[in-house]
Structure 1
Amino acid sequence: MGLESICLPEGDITPGWVCKFAETLVKASWLGHQSLANVLSAGTATALLQRLSRLLSARPPLVQVSPKEDETVTVVGDTHGQLHDVMVMFASAGMPSEKAHFIFNGDYVDRGSWGLESELKAKYPEKEAGSIYKAAEAVFIALPLAACVAGTTLVLHGGLFRPTTKQKRKGKRQKCLTPGSLKDLTDPVFKPSADPCGTGLTRTPGDILWSDPVATPGMRLNKFRGVGLVFGPDITEAFLAANNLRLIIRSHEGPDARYEIEDDAMNMKMGYTRDHITPNGDLVTVFSAPDYPQHQACPEEDRYHNLAAVAVLRGSTAPSWADPEFLQSMASWHKF
């Protein structure tokens, strides 16, 4: 039986429309790669992305989320193109609604056979695939860099950051690096970019996307990645105090990034870790792609069989909006 084609609503996109849209995508995924273009035309896909881009462009780099006491905020980590597992996550955490807010914290698509370019080339004619990709790239550029929940929890993809203004150097030795503040995100001078290289006016976005927490004190350049920073618990503690925050939620690191860590509490096999626990608050990592990586180029024996997790924030817990409850889920069964 064929599936009904997806049409954009003339008015606002409602949660009900989104649920039906997701259901149609999942059903189409079982009918072969050609089925997507039959239910989601290139024109509709491009128009949807363009509408999303316009909405996101109106948002500031730092989005303020102000939930009411009886509402929830769920932070979703990296999903890496695993649509079926996202639907399992929604079955566990519930669908977005007026009282259930969701923050998706980056790495929406994966690489290889599950990369956006490969998906579009396999499912649409070349010209149409190029049009959709261009519209998707505009969405990535327009995405906010961070969100602040109830003035107490900061959500960003990678980690802490330097202000965009250049720090002074003393001779040829770089002065000790210090983190920026929330004010750097509310009064930005950086340049939007689909893939910030971390230099010049892309330094702050590059740091936010690529930085990682470490156990050793201080803040220094991230030599392993070649972009961004690494920072210790002392930096997290000072940043929380200076910005009146109690919690930082980040993503960015899955089990493949921490495979050499033997400590089960830190290797991301459970879908989350508590990286920094300080007197002023904590920093946690949440990763939402189970049994990663699942793209076709990765055989079964090379996957990490990790759980996925999301972080749920509530106003009724102490401290309010800064005491995450982690909901875990296993990978769904599906064809690769």
Structure 2
Amino acid sequence: MASIPTKRACAAQELDSPVQPASSLSTPLQLVGSGAGVGPAPPPAVQVVEAPPSPGTLPASVEVSPAGLQWRSKSKLSAEIAANELSRQASMPETLGSRTESAASSCLPSPGIGEQVVDITVQTSYDEYDPATRTKVTKNMGGDVLRSRRKLIRNDTDSGSSSASESVQTDGTNSATFSQVHGEQDAITNWGVLIGKALWCRMKGQGQQGKRRKLGLLAVALNGSTYLNRFTAVSKDAKPPSKGPGRGVTRRAATVVSQLQEMVKRVGKEETDMNDGEWREDTMNFLFSADYTDTLMILASGVRQLLQTEPTVVQVPQPCKVFGDIHGQLRDLLLLFHAYGSPGADKHFVFNGDFVDRGAHQLEVVGVLFALKLTFPSHVWLVRGNHEDLLMNRKYGFEEECQESLGSANGPKTFQLFQKAFEWLPLACLIDDQILTVHGGLGDGKWTIAELSCVPRPLNSEDFHTPERRWLYNILWSDPIPEDEAMNEAVVFGVHSSPRNASAVKFGWNVTKTFCALNGIGLVIRSHQCLEQGRGFEIMHEDKLMRVFSARDYEEHRNDAAVLAIKRNGGASAPQLLVRAQVLKSLERFRGAQVNGV
């Protein structure tokens, strides 16, 4: 019987050990321990397929004693929410899924010597800044940002009488069927998570702790089939990386950043709050000088050269802040800088795509972000969104903005320079080796961070629409399914078509959990969606996924804007990553409250 190597065994594996044939890895993984006979049979044989280039070696199987083995969760909410969850689970009847989870967790490998387990804690309180009153308060999270299947399960198990049960059910699913399906889906997911962690342990055994190397190992499908190989070789025709922008470009960028800092101070002192579309400042001349067209062209060309030196998945240390969609709303960006800090040489900032389209100050937003990137190249990180795209910019306003603001002679040329820079933007960033940040989502989840790191750039609009790159398209376009969206478990489980378009998908909580296990990470941060009267952030998929959106009152949604602050806490023996939401309060909700006399 093949067994799962512990992290301890993996860490001790020699780098120059003999290559293990792929055939020796196709033996079914079976659990060792006291979980025998509990829950369903494990899924079909796990197949691991090597993809070019050959990564080197894989560790041999190691027998594992079941005694005392335990896996520490890499992602959790703080103690208050954890206690509530445990209380709810304790009051629920035992299900197939819970029995399987108990059996699986008892057989998972423990951390090894020299390998830290970093817990990720999303703090249950968040900061809220109100520009209308220029005050900052601390608030506790509520059900509007904490999405959980436990709400539905609790309602189902507490229904008691037939009348109560009928009031809960909204889609024709009866209580018994829901509980049964819930248990089955939990069981499938738990096996998938277990297998993912085992595969990650084997990859870590190649002596590459803390690094996402191009291993070429493919994910394993829960239905017994092997995932398609999505390794993308670097084109032989690819140009060598640029050496980066010259000193003249960085000096011009530094001047823009200096003007930006002054504008942040001015906006912070304004006595009357207003939305970005109502703001009437001469921002172009103030930020980029009277020769703003030339400045924007220089910034776009310089950033393209700089991005050519960066990988497709950038590594970002902590502490850092993550911004979501901005969509040309410059005043909101300035207020967030004023309330929670601006980029500098002592901190890291990640801007997670969708800088332009729809807003009133699109050129100003992308211009200052590019200037920040050039001024602080190792501290400011730009990630591509679905609106850093030629077709989207033609449809939703950025091309028109260039024409109107820069004229018929310079507008098209500047627009093309920005498009060339957009094509070189990284597709993801990995924060402190534990948190993956992408703009849209995971798609079907049938890819690894290692595979994504191998994708060559530049990538234009057409490159995302080829069948073999649909997975890349969904990194920019896919959306998660909130697990409390429907009583029917099948609706929130797996991968479904998206109302956005024929190529995009929606993915369930099980996809996120399995992806995190397979890639050895604890949390995924994404943007891409704004909720009506939302708080600018959300936590879902059993605390493995967060959403952040940084444009308030977007398209009359009466929503807050938010950023996520990430930093380490605790000593070397118990490292911890803290994630805290920092919110900019909606002006439209404030106005509505005044009208209603609240």
Instruction: Judge which range, 215-224 or 117-126, deviates more.
Output: 215-224
Q: Supply the distance in 2 between the matched residues of 1:119 and 1:159 (Cα, whole angstroms).
A: 28
| Deviation (angstroms), 1:140 | 1.0
Selected match of 1:325 from 565, 577, 580: 580
Is residue 2:259 matched to residue 1:30?
no
Selected match of 1:200 from 446, 452, 467: 467
Selected match of 2:403 from 117, 121, 136: 121
Distance 1:315 1:13, change over 3 A: farther
Task: Name the SS for the 1:143 alignment partner.
Answer: coil
Is residue 2:536 matched to residue 1:271?
yes
| Deviation (angstroms), 1:23 | 5.1
| Deviation (angstroms), 1:59 | 1.1
Task: Name the SS for the 1:10 alignment partner.
Answer: helix
Instruction: Judge which range, 305-314 or 11-20, deviates more.
Output: 11-20
Q: Which residue type is aligned with residue 425 of structure 2?
A: L
| Deviation (angstroms), 1:190 | 7.6
Q: Which residue type is aligned with residue 308 of structure 1?
A: A
Distance 1:136 1:29, change over 3 A: farther
| Deviation (angstroms), 1:21 | 3.8
Distance 1:307 1:223, change over 3 A: closer
Distance 1:286 1:133, change over 3 A: same
Q: Which residue type is aligned with residue 209 of structure 1?
A: L
Residue of structure 2 in register with 1:249 after alignment: 525
Q: Which residue type is aligned with residue 230 of structure 1?
A: K
Q: Supply the distance in 2 between the matched residues of 1:306 and 1:283 (Cα, whole angstroms).
A: 20
Distance 1:120 1:23, change over 3 A: farther
Alignment of 1:21-170 (within 5 A): 21-22=259-260, 30-31=281-282, 39-67=290-318, 72-111=319-358, 115-161=397-443
Distance 1:178 1:239, change over 3 A: closer
- Tell me the alpha carbon deviations over residues 115-159 of structure 1, each in whole angstroms, 9 at most, x when there is no partner: 322322222121101111011111111110000011100000000
Selected match of 1:309 from 545, 549, 562: 562
Distance 1:254 1:30, change over 3 A: same
Q: Which residue type is aligned with residue 291 of structure 1?
A: D
| Deviation (angstroms), 1:104 | 0.4
| Deviation (angstroms), 1:198 | 3.9
TM-score, normalisation: structure 1? 0.75
Unaligned 5+ runs, structure 2: 1-245, 267-278, 363-396, 484-491, 589-598
Q: Supply the distance in 1 between the matched residues of 2:542 and 2:422 (Cα, whole angstroms).
A: 32
Q: Supply the distance in 1 between the matched residues of 2:338 and 2:263 (Cα, whole angstroms).
A: 16
Contact 1:193–1:202 (Cα < 8 Å) also in 2:
no
Bigger radius of gyration: 2
- Tell me the alpha carbon deviations over residues 209-255 of structure 1, each in whole angstroms, 9 at most, x when there is no partner: 00110031112343543223211111111111111101110000012
Selected match of 2:546 from 268, 284, 287: 284
Contact 2:553–2:587 (Cα < 8 Å) also in 1:
no
Q: Supply the distance in 1 between the matched residues of 2:474 and 2:537 (Cα, whole angstroms).
A: 21
Alignment of 1:164-203 (within 5 A): 179-188=446-455, 192-194=459-461, 197-203=464-470
Q: Supply the distance in 1 between the matched residues of 2:286 and 2:434 (Cα, whole angstroms).
A: 44
Distance 1:315 1:186, change over 3 A: same
Residue of structure 1 in register with 2:14 after alignment: none
Contact 2:423–2:457 (Cα < 8 Å) also in 1:
no
Q: Which residue type is aligned with residue 541 of structure 2?
A: H
| Deviation (angstroms), 1:269 | 1.3
Residue of structure 1 in register with 2:480 after alignment: 213
Q: Supply the distance in 2 between the matched residues of 1:224 and 1:118 (Cα, whole angstroms).
A: 23
Residue of structure 1 in register with 2:192 after alignment: none
Selected match of 2:515 from 221, 239, 251: 239
Distance 1:183 1:124, change over 3 A: same
Distance 1:50 1:29, change over 3 A: farther
Distance 1:16 1:58, change over 3 A: closer
Distance 1:34 1:182, change over 3 A: closer
Q: Supply the distance in 2 between the matched residues of 1:39 and 1:24 (Cα, whole angstroms).
A: 17
Aligned-residue identity in percent: 29
Task: Name the SS for the 1:226 alignment partner.
Answer: coil
Which one has a larger percent helix, Structure 1 or Structure 2?
A: 2
- Tell me the alpha carbon deviations over residues 175-217 of structure 1, each in whole angstroms, 9 at most, x when there is no partner: xx55211111122268612475443353232111001100311
Count of residue pairs the alignment pairs up: 283
- Tell me the alpha carbon deviations over residues 18-52 of structure 1, each in whole angstroms, 9 at most, x when there is no partner: 53242578899613888888624322211111000
Contact 1:76–1:286 (Cα < 8 Å) also in 2:
yes
Q: Supply the distance in 2 between the matched residues of 1:194 and 1:22 (Cα, whole angstroms).
A: 31
Selected match of 1:10 from 248, 257, 269: 248
Contact 2:424–2:458 (Cα < 8 Å) also in 1:
no
Q: Supply the distance in 2 between the matched residues of 1:14 and 1:90 (Cα, whole angstroms).
A: 21
Contact 1:85–1:331 (Cα < 8 Å) also in 2:
no
Contact 1:65–1:148 (Cα < 8 Å) also in 2:
yes
Task: Name the SS for the 1:125 alignment partner.
Answer: helix
Residue of structure 2 in register with 1:172 after alignment: none
Contact 1:290–1:308 (Cα < 8 Å) also in 2:
yes
Unaligned 5+ runs, structure 1: 1-7, 162-176, 260-267, 294-302
TM-score, normalisation: structure 2? 0.43
| Alignment root-mean-square deviation, CA | 3.1
Q: Supply the distance in 2 between the matched residues of 1:122 and 1:285 (Cα, whole angstroms).
A: 33
Task: Name the SS for the 2:423 alignment partner.
Answer: helix
Which one has a larger percent strand, Structure 1 or Structure 2?
A: 1
